[in-house]
């Protein structure tokens, strides 16, 4: 059952526990929305410029992975990491061509593994880590709290796309 309360989580500092609560709520709703989808549902592309639900799920995992690296290691992806995640990060034509023929279980395993790593990372941090200020190469300041807020907002945004694709899929049947 989905918990509709934002509360600190056990084994996390207070603010990080609240962040984890938000991350987990966001994911629970996403998982509920994709529950029971078939491979053909996950591969469905409503038009020539859209992304499939499968691509969007893999994109969610890739964004979370990138934010683990950026917030914890203060670096960009290595070449090997970029090779693994590039298509999911960029979406578009390459994703339409290459991200398909996977079961829901495949996407759920990717999401689960990345989230498991996120929770391990966040357990090792204290609330002060959220406020650590950094600058992107263009000089714009940000902090770790913003980076993880972005993970949440990205997933919610793409979940809206998933819901739209599901409606179009239903109309096409």
Question: The domain 14-172 belongs to what CATH superfamily?
Answer: dinb family like domain (1.20.120.450)
Residue 52 sits at the vertex; the CA angle it makes with 58 and 94, to the nearest 5 degrees, is 75
Average pLDDT over residues 149-173: 92
- The residue extents of the domains of the chain are 14-172
Contacts of 45 (CB under 8 A, 6+ apart): 51, 52, 96
Quick one: pLDDT band at residue 134, thresholds 50, 70, 90?
very high
**What pLDDT score does 173 carry?**
62
Tell me the pLDDT tens digit for each residue of 62-74. Answer: 999 999 999 999 9
Give CA angle at 154 (153, 159), nearest 5°. 95
- Reported pTM: 0.94
């Amino acid at each position: 059952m989905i918990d509709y309360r934002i509360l600190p989580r056990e084994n996390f500092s207070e603010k990080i526990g609240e962040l984890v609560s938000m991350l987990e709520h966001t994911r629970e709703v996403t998982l509920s929305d994709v529950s029971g989808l078939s491979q053909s549902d996950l591969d469905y592309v409503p038009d020539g410029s859209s992304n499939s639900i499968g691509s969007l799920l893999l994109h969610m995992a890739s964004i979370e992975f990138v934010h683990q690296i950026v917030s914890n290691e203060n670096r960009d992806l290595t070449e090997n990491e970029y090779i693994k995640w590039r298509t999911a990060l960029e979406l578009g034509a390459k994703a339409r061509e290459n991200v398909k023929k996977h079961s829901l279980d495949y996407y759920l395993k990717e999401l689960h593994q990345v989230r498991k790593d996120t929770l391990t990372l966040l357990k090792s941090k204290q609330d002060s880590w959220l406020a650590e200020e950094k600058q992107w190469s263009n000089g714009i300041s940000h902090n770790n709290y913003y980076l993880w807020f972005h993970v949440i907002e990205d997933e919610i945004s793409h979940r809206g796309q998933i819901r739209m694709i599901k409606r179009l899929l239903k109309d096409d049947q």
